[in-house]
Amino acid sequence: MDPLRLLAHIPAPATTPGSYPRTVTDRTTRTGHRHPQHTTPTRPFPGPFDGAVVPPLPARWSEQPAPEPAGPGLLARFRRRVRIELLAVGALVLLPRLPGAVKGLHNPSSPDDVLHLETWAIATQVGLAVGLIGICIYLLWRDGRLRPAGFGGIAFGRLLGIGLGTALLALGAALVVGMLAVAWHAMSGSAGTLSPMATSGVRMTAGTVTAAVLLSLAAGFSEEIVFRGYAISRFADAGWARAGWWVPLLLWAAMHLWQGPLAVLQVLAMGSIFVLAYAWTRNVWPLVLGHVVLDLAIFGLAFLAA
């Protein structure tokens, strides 16, 4: 039989033009076959460089298929860029809080002291929190990391249950650490007084309640998005997956040094609960809800103390 007639009976590929995913372009030969030289790589996630594929988080973190690295050179470049990015974001978050942390070593403040700030100071803190949220979300979105970092959807019942449960466990952990510190202080006979997380009462007015709600929302969203959703996932992208579980936690606790050393231990205990909740749910929204509820509870105790 004529070889040309045999070629005419070869079936066309199953993949139709325009289907996804594809490894070749829609350009075809006269017989309808795809030309082998017109190939384009399949890229489930957008890469930072042409032809690159962003290295995936562990498979259990994402419901999407993990792409194969494009090459050791591009992978090393990507990790180097993420590490520089982490240093820049860390400096942006921590450096403005350094003076308050140094002051807290000698003259700690209580959380309810922020309710006495001027309106412009509260507005500035809320604005900075919104800015940090925008920066971190953009950096994750740019590399296709929003959903693997925990920004996907979650059922309302699961959101409410995990969020409130996390808040209660974190508050209990803080109380346990506080009681242990008071007992150790009493048995050792150390001079001076401890600085609990809430020491002075605040009168409940429209201004203080508004400030408490705004600051709780700003802290809940910004700290959980930055220190949990962003930091843990970006540490994994940088090749430091194990360090991502404890380095952001320690930095987050140190950021509260303005409240005193005891508050740092309490924040560390509460942060451990939030990290465990994030490791279990792989979703940042229950943590945001729990953080907001926890901060509102602390401010509520300050209102009751008055």
Is 241 a domain residue?
yes
Tens of pLDDT, residues 95-152: 888 888 888 777 777 777 777 778 888 899 999 999 999 999 999 999 889 999 999 9
The per-residue pLDDT for 27 is: 43
If we measure between CA atoms, which residue out of 214, 256, 253, 215 comes closest to residue 100? 256
Structural domain span for residue 173:
79-305
Question: How many domains, the chain?
Answer: 1
Write down the mean pLDDT value for the chain: 78
pTM of whole model > 0.85?
A: no
Task: State mean pLDDT over 206-213.
Answer: 88
- Say yes or no to pLDDT of 13 above 60: no
- Say yes or no to pLDDT of 4 above 80: no
User: DSSP letters along 173-223, please?
Assistant: HHHHHHHHHHHHHHHHT-SS----S--S-----HHHHHHHHHHHHHHHHHH
Is 39 a domain residue?
no
- Say yes or no to pLDDT of 15 above 50: no
Is 2 a domain residue?
no
Query: What's the number of CA atoms in the CB half-sphere (13 Å) around residue 154?
Result: 22
Is 52 a domain residue?
no
Is 149 a domain residue?
yes
Is 44 a domain residue?
no
Structure tokens at 221: 């969203």
Is 247 a domain residue?
yes
Is 286 a domain residue?
yes
